[in-house]
Amino acid sequence: MYYFLFRWFPKRGFSRCMGWLADRAWPRPVMAAVIGLYRRVYRIDMADFATPPGGFRTFTAFFTRGLRPGARPVTTDAAAIVSPVDGAVVEAGAIREGRLLQAKGHAFSLEALLGGDANWRAYEGGSFITLYLSPRDYHRIHTPCAGSVTRFRHVPGDLWTVGPAGVNGVPGLFARNERLISFLDTALGEVAVVKVGATVVGRVKVVYHDITTNRPGQGVTAETIAPPHALAAGAELGRFELGSTVILLLPPGTAALEPFASGDTVRMGQTIGHRA
């Protein structure tokens, strides 16, 4: 039903409009009221964050708020794979016959998810985990293990919701929505962190390049990062403005993920697997 109701809704235009509003520095009483209401509705505890509730001049600044030091400790185990975000597990498991599970009874194409990247077959037989960031979650994205960003691929697309309505109602959702894919050279081999845009703003930014997604006139972009951008395990990789979902892709025979079930919650820095 959701798919048919919102098929023709101008999701990209609406999201850009919401982004413009979120970027405005409204009078402080207005901003305080908006942030206060948002915090109450989504039950957001600000104790983990570096900036107090009254310290934000825009809603975007609030939404992309940074953590206070030590709020998300990252394991020192060099063999660990850590969660790149705070969120809930949508699905996790093996990549089989070029397909990933979207939801019970529904799968989507790995090649389509990676926007036709020439190296997509390198993940066949590997593992994936899809993590959904709700409106209440911390919305910065971090590295799952130490490595260097060697390249990225930006694939413009739709901006369907990535909440339960979209996951259960939009075929091939994660391969249809806009994606920004960071490829990292790690001890596991090449690891892909797929950042999926969604309704309401849909922008994604990264620390290693000035690209911002959901801009008019963008086409598929693939660039090499030279020299590669080195990042420690748990280092900040990018952020959502607002949204969304992260899909972590691991090559075959390199790692074992914990036995997560759909709906399990994770926090950034939490161990979610180990090197095989």
Is residue 1 over pLDDT 90? no
pLDDT at position 21 is 80
- Plot region of 154 (φ>0 → left; ψ -120 to 50 → alpha; else → beta): beta
What pLDDT does 116 receive? 92
Averaged pLDDT for residues 107-117: 95
Both 50 and 134 in a single domain? Answer: no
77 is catalytic: no
The answer on 36 and 156 residing in a single domain is no
Which of the following is catalytic: 83, 86, 127, 137? 86
pLDDT band at 108 (very low <50, low <70, confident <90, very high): very high
User: Of the spans 12-16, 23-27, 150-154, 242-246, which averages the highest pLDDT?
Assistant: 150-154
In a domain, 253, yes or no: yes
- Look at residue 68 in the predicted model and tell me its pLDDT: 93
Residues 38 and 159 in one domain: no
How many helices and strands, by DSSP H and E, does the chain display?
A: 7, 16
154 & 246 share domain: yes
Averaged pLDDT for residues 255-268:
94
Q: Is residue 72 part of a domain?
A: no
Mention every residue, 6+ apart, whose C-beta is less than 8 A from residue 107: 99, 100, 101
Would you say 60 and 22 are in contact if contact means Cβ atoms under 8 Å apart? yes
Within-domain flag for 71: no
Q: Taking the CB of residue 216, how many other CB atoms lie within 10 A of it?
A: 8
pLDDT grade for 218, boundaries at 50, 70 and 90: confident
CA 123 to chain centre: 19
Percent of the chain having pLDDT more than 70? 94
Q: Are residues 180 and 85 both part of a single domain?
A: yes
From the list 77, 42, 67, 47, the residue with the least C-alpha distance to 270 is 77
pLDDT at 19: 79
Residue in 142, 154, 182, 229 annotated catalytic: 142
The answer on 251 and 119 residing in a single domain is: yes
Give the lowest-confidence range in 27-31, 48-52, 166-170.
Answer: 166-170
What is the pLDDT at residue 106?
Answer: 85
Q: Mean pLDDT over residues 110-139, rounded? A: 95
Distance CA 53, CA 34 (A): 11
**Is 48 assigned a catalytic role?**
no
Is residue 69 in a domain?
Answer: no
E-only strand ranges, 11-126: 80-82, 87-94, 99-103, 106-109
Boundary of a domain, candidates 63, 95, 113: 63
Work out the pLDDT band at 161, boundaries 50, 70, 90.
confident
The whole-number pLDDT of residue 4 equals: 57
CA gap 123, 252 in Å, rounded: 6
Dump pLDDT digits (tens) for 52-103: 888 999 999 999 999 999 999 999 898 999 999 999 999 999 999 999 999 7
Kindly report the average pLDDT of the chain as a whole number. Answer: 91
14 in a structural domain: yes
- Shared domain check, 138 and 199: yes
For the cut 80, the answer to whether the pLDDT of residue 136 exceeds it is: yes
36 plus 163 within the same structural domain: no
86 is catalytic: yes
Residue 75 lies in a domain: no
Q: What is the mean pLDDT of residues 174-190?
A: 95
Is 261 part of a structural domain of the chain?
A: yes
Domain with 269, as residue range(s), is: 80-275
Residues 172 and 202 in one domain: yes
Same domain for 104 and 205, yes or no, is: yes
Q: Give yes or no: residues 101 and 221 share one domain.
A: yes
In a domain, 198, yes or no: yes
User: What DSSP string describes 3-44?
Assistant: HHHHTTS-HHHHHHHHHHHHHS---HHHHHHHHHHHHHHHT-
Number of independent structural domains in the chain: 2
83, 127, 182, 244: the catalytic one is: 244
In terms of DSSP bridges, do strands 106-109 and 99-103 run parallel, antiparallel, or are they unpaired? antiparallel
Q: Determine which helix (DSSP H) or strand (DSSP E) holds 155, and give its type and residue range.
A: strand 147-155
Residue 86 identity (one-letter amino acid):
D
Residues 44, 115 within the same domain: no
